[in-house]
Amino acid sequence: MAKYFTRLGDGEGVWMSKEEIREDVMAGINDAVTKGKTPNLTDDDIEKLIEILTMPEKNVSVERGNEGIMTFDAGTLKLPVRAGIPMDRMTALMTHERVLCSDTMEMCNVDYSYKALKNIVSEEAMAMELAQKNCILPIFYGAMPNVGQYTKPDGPLDNWTELLPKGKVKEAMAAQEEAVELASKDMIFVGTHLAEAGACGIQFDTCGASGDADILAALIAAKELSSKFPNLSIEMGMANEYHLGMHGKLQFEGQRLAGQFPAAQVKSVEAAGAHIYGCVVNTKSSKSFPWNLARSIAFVKSAVAVADIPVVVNAGMGVGGIPLSNTAPTDATTRASKALIEIGKADGL
């Protein structure tokens, strides 16, 4: 029986038969359907996915005309910091514009949390002004809500992850409610400065990383900024395919945030006046790439089906079906790229 080269969820190469791939694809979809209540993928979707997964080419691409737009989180962290290339952020932005030919780019700081940026917002705004003078491509400014940073010893609040195991539920809930207020204020403050400096957009990245308080803070900030700056684009990237209910009762515009899957997440993002929803489906490293990609597509397609705004998919290391490896294998990355857009019907990545 013919074997096809594919990957495990941690990036390790593995040879599987078409039937084994099909079994994993079906199991991945089933996980999204049963746990996330997504609609099933169609037979055509499944056959197309198996075709992409078993293509003999090392790297693949979308068919002509199916291209989507590319956005970035941690944009200017990738070349100057993670890859260690001695270049400043302006050079990184122009490298993306003129060498990599990215459709958009994100300027950000090494300390990728809005709370930390408050202290250096004037310098960040100046950097944005300079970037806007020199670049043609749209530039976002981005960071994470990171409400966990408002807890002791980094912040003023008691830590709810310490309070909850002690049974101090009310105190944990109150601390998170205070964190929402502090974090949304900081995001509005930083976002306002960057918008006034000419940023094309503000990105709230990894929203919900600290649970439902984290996403609520970002939604409040997005709502304020989108009404204050009508020409400013707001992109909201999630942390997970499922908002953790660290508080459990927090609501935005009448909708409970804990437990939201992508099809509900995108509606909350729309309600905040944001323009782009960034769908995140985390990779399970103990499952295969076919399992993870199939599961991701099911979640993405469920969000696209109900979305009135564009849906872009986070497709880096450990999300969007891509193996959890710092150096994502290009065979997996390009297959995920093609499948998320052509089957998931995403507007971009």
Partner 1 sequence: MHEMASGMGGIRTAGDLVARMVMKGMKLNVAKKYVADKLGCTVFDLSDSAAMKEIRESLDIGTVLVRNGASMGMDAKVKIADILDIKIPSVEGQKIR
- Residue number, 64 or 170, with CB nearest to partner 1: 64
Q: In the complex, what is the shortest distance from the CB of residue 210 to partner 1, in angstroms, rounded to a whole number?
A: 27
- Stretch of residues binding partner 1 (CB under 8 A), selected from 27-35, 95-103, 170-178, 289-297: 95-103
66 binds partner 1, rule: CB under 8 A:
yes
* Cα 295 to Cα 287: distance, rounded to the nearest angstrom: 11
Taken in order 123, 210, 225, 277, the sign of the CA dihedral is positive
Q: Name the residue nearer to partner 1 (CB basis): 34 or 231.
A: 231
The reply to whether 323 sits near partner 1 by the rule CB under 8 A is no
* CB-count exposure of residue 53 (10 Å: 0-12, 13-18, 19+): buried
336 vs 239: CA distance, rounded Å = 18
| Distance between start and end Cα atoms, the chain | 35
Interacting stretch for partner 1, rule CB under 8 A, among 29-37, 66-74, 161-169, 241-249? 66-74
| Residues of span 36-65 touching partner 1 by CB under 8 A | 59-62, 64-65
Toward partner 1, which CB reaches closer, 164 or 309? 309
Q: Which is nearer to partner 1, 169 or 305 (CB)?
A: 305
Q: Which is nearer to partner 1, 173 or 341 (CB)?
A: 341
Name which position in 14, 83, 85, 100 contacts partner 1 (CB under 8 A): 100
For residue 205, give the nearest of 282, 108, 308, 83 by alpha carbon: 108
Rounded CA gap, 93 and 125, in Å?
15
Residue from 34, 84, 136, 326 touching partner 1 (CB under 8 A): that is 136
Instruction: Return all residues near 261 (Cβ < 8 A) that are at least 6 apart.
Output: 36, 37, 38, 241, 242, 299, 302
Query: What residues from 225 to 284 belong to the interface with partner 1 (CB under 8 A)?
Result: 229, 231-233, 235, 275-276
Pairing verdict, β 311-313 and 276-279:
parallel
Strand 3-7 versus strand 13-17 pairing type: antiparallel
Cβ proximity to partner 1: between 65 and 167 the closer is 65
320-329 b/e with 16+ CB inside 10 Å = b? bbbbbbeebb
Q: Is 199 in the site for partner 1 (CB under 8 A)?
A: yes
Interface segment toward partner 1; rule CB under 8 A; list 15-23, 131-139, 204-212, 260-268: 131-139
As a whole number of angstroms, the distance between CA 237 and CA 349 comes to 11
300 forms part of the interface with partner 1 (CB under 8 A): no
Taking Cα atoms as reference points, which of 50, 126, 143, 34 lies closest to residue 88? 126
Q: Does 315 bind partner 1 (CB under 8 A)?
A: yes
Which residues have C-beta within 8 Å of that of residue 62, sequence separation ≥ 6? 68, 337, 338, 341, 342
Among 145, 328, 343, 344, the residue binding partner 1 under the rule CB under 8 A is 328
Q: How far is the CB of 134 from partner 1 (least distance, A)?
A: 4
Least distance between partner 1 and beta carbon 238 (Å): 18
Contacting residues toward partner 1, per CB under 8 A? 59-62, 64-71, 96-98, 100-104, 129, 132-138, 195-201, 229, 231-233, 235, 275-276, 309-310, 315, 328, 330, 333-334, 337-338, 340-341, 347-349
